[in-house]
Chain A
Amino acid sequence: MKWPRSPATLLQEGPHIPILVSATRFEVEEGRAVGLDFPEWPVQALIDTGASVTIVNPEVAKTCKLKWTGRAQIIAVGGVAGEFPEHAAAISFPGTSLASCDVIRVVACPIVRRPFSCLIGRDILQRFRLIYDGRTGDVEIL
């Protein structure tokens, strides 16, 4: 799947794609059976090869009712560190044939850079091939 942009836009905004975040499919299906609602939330996600794990804004985790499964130690650039909630999530790529991540661990941590509500880390990227073409502005995920 290719997301074409101008080279200047890609330089300015970075490689970002639309994704859908939700609770895991099993939870959604089981929840429906007992009257629980698990919303899906469409967000723009920045592909961040510098992130070893995938990050979502805490409001995404809260709205989607992502199950809290642990805590993670995060160190950001500059050595700033903190402990943040780990959640189980499902991440899909609407309008593409890319395989969804049915159960993926995400860390809920505020992302300052708007409009992004998710940083796609190397834990998701390890499932795909990423082509970043700075000359044409194209970003392709296979």
Chain B
Amino acid sequence: MGRLPSRFPVAEEDEDKVLKDELRVFEQHKQEWLRSNSGNFVVIARATVAGFYPDYESAFRAGLEKFGVAAQFLVKQVCAEEPVYLIY
């Protein structure tokens, strides 16, 4: 059941910049975090790491409490292989 487009849209330039700093921080610390927090979800805003949480929901809530509703922050699971989601 192919419901997604056969050609995916190219991300707009602005979208490329969203969470770029946070993703860089994640990559810089990934190996260290794989040893200490594998499987947990990390919350990052700019260069500030808000902590590690067992699931997306608790990580997101922590991000809101720490950085506020208007702030942008990354919620990302610490895992060796980036997850790839399948849509059929």
Contacts and interface: CB of A to CB of B under 8 A. Distances in A.
Contacts, number: 120
A30 interface: yes
A112 B15 CA distance: 21
B2 A78 contact: yes
A69 B2 contact: no
B6 interface: yes
In which size bucket is the chain B interface? 35 or more
B82 A73 contact: yes
Residue of B56, B82, B84, B87 ringed by the most chain A CB atoms within 10 A? B87
A76 B72 contact: no
B33 interface: no
Interface of A: 14, 24, 26-27, 30-31, 34, 36, 46, 48, 50-53, 55, 67-78, 80-86, 88, 102-105, 107, 109-113, 116, 119, 121
Given A70-B76, A76-B2, 8 more contacts: A52-B86, A52-B87, A53-B85, A68-B19, A70-B74, A76-B86, A102-B57, A119-B87
Given A34-B69, A70-B75, A105-B56, A75 B87 contact: yes
